[in-house]
Amino acid sequence: MHPRFDRDRLRVFPLSSRENKVVIERDHIPVNHKPCEITKRTDVALGELVDRIRNSKNKKRPVVMAFGAHTIKNGMAPTLIQLMKDGWLNHLATNGAGIIHDWEFAYQGESSEDVRKNVSDGRFGIWEETGFYINLAIIVGAWEDLGYGESVGKMIHTEGLEVPKVSELYAFAERHVSIDSDRASAAIDLAATIVKYDIPHGFMRIPHPFKKYSVQAAAYELNLPFTSHPMIGHDIIYNHPLNHGAAIGRTALRDFMSFAHNISQLEHGVYISIGSAVMSPMIFEKAFSMAQNISLKKGRAIENHFIIVADLAESQWDWQNSGEPPSDDPAYYLRYCKTFSRMGGEMRYVTLDNRDFLLLLHHKLHSVRSPISLSE
């Protein structure tokens, strides 16, 4: 067995001691903020997107939006929340960092540390409240059979966590070990965490004074899936001793299965990918392959779906009409475009800052009649 790093030896710092670059009350983008001027080609693509979204809603098909963490860090929560409230989105997906920035904004109203300085000081990502509360929410959520994003969204929305008695958890595990071994194991994991950190049972109140800026809390309140698709070791919560790999795995897998379910309904639906070069295309291609597998078993293929990708990278390649570029063309290595161009249906690529893309989308959708409420 190879040596392993012992996180229990870390000196963990209070989050209040950290300087942050973004203050949400100051830096958020209001929904009525004026976006930038765009090219005719981009305007046409956005107009087509709006038409496709309206058509999807009329056919009761999903509109799924995936985005990288910068969408949250750039203060776009108000627009994302409004798009959900207006009934245009069925599912939101982000990476682990998106969850963290959203939570830190809700908890303390600030996020985004100075990585260079804090790495040199041995402080980067080693923050007590971020590591403790998010990890605990995920461990509790695994026991409650929730997904990763849902677990954190519930904590923000309810401003706390319900911690069961250790005796109840052990009793549950004993009764269910042969019926539901996953829940039984999650119960044991939570019990061990409670004992190790001497966490009292009952409701642990965790105020979130800025929760109106939380996308995942709004999704929880609206009963919409907000899924997280993390990678082990990519996020600062892995620096905290309370971090639990099994709980991460259970909740993240539930989120991926929820994501895959909506992708399986994508015939005449819409997929929007914003500023995610790795997470979004990678989870989509696996989910879409599974969805296509089941659809073909039923004698029909998923082929009438619409994908739009928005990112800052310039691309001179005509993905719409020219297919995939040859491997000696730099456009071939624009990974997300290459991946999505292989997924059938129709794909469009627009070069836009995520702020301008979302503002333009909201403004264009706001000018048409809102869809029927998702709760109806």
- For 292-351, what is each residue's pLDDT tens digit? 999 999 999 999 999 999 999 887 778 777 878 888 888 887 778 889 989 999 999 999
What pLDDT is attached to residue 233? 95
Structure tokens at 339: 């991946």
**Phi and psi torsions of 47, nearest 5°:** -65, -40
Average pLDDT of the chain is 94
Longest Cα–Cα distance of the chain, Å, equals 64
Asked whether residue 41 carries a pLDDT value surpassing 50, the answer given is yes
Per the CB < 8 A criterion, the answer to whether 264 and 289 are in contact is no
Please enumerate in sequence order all residues whose Cβ is within 8 A of that of 127, keeping only pairs 6 or more positions apart, or say none.
12, 13, 14, 15, 18, 236, 240
Query: For the segment 344-373, what is each residue's pLDDT rounded down to a tens digit?
Result: 999 999 999 999 999 999 999 988 765 544
Work out the average pLDDT over 227-245: 97
**CATH number for region 7-164+201-366:** 3.40.50.10690
Position 375 pLDDT exceeds 50: no
Question: Does residue 125 come out as left (phi exceeding 0), alpha (psi in the -120 to 50 range) or beta?
Answer: left
- CA angle, corner 129, sides to 123 and 131, nearest 5? 70
Locus of tokens 């659809």 = 295
Residue type, 302: I
Nearest to 103 by CA among 136, 133, 145: 133
Alpha carbon separation from 323 to 49, 239, 317 (Å, rounded): 20, 43, 9
Residue whose token pair is 């539901």:
180
Which pair of structure tokens corresponds to residue 211?
Answer: 């929760």
The pLDDT score that the predictor gives to residue 376 is: 35
- Of 75-84, 196-205, 305-314, least confident by mean pLDDT is 305-314
Q: How far is CA 134 from the centre of its chain?
A: 14
Token readout for 274 is: 């914003």
Q: Nearest 10 degrees: CA dihedral of 8, 149, 94, 110?
A: -70
Q: What percent of the chain has pLDDT over 70?
A: 98
* pLDDT at position 8 over 90: yes
User: What pLDDT is stored for residue 315 in this prediction?
Assistant: 78
Q: Which range is least confidently modeled, 48-57, 172-181, 206-215?
A: 172-181
Contact yes or no for 63/272 (Cβ under 8 A)? yes
Half-sphere exposure of 160 (CA within 13 A, CB side): 8
pLDDT at 369: 62
Instruction: Report d(CA 138, CA 298) in Å as an integer.
Output: 36
Neighbours of 30 (CB within 10 A): 11
Distance CA 157, CA 207 (A): 10
pLDDT at 371: 56
The residue count of the chain comes to 376
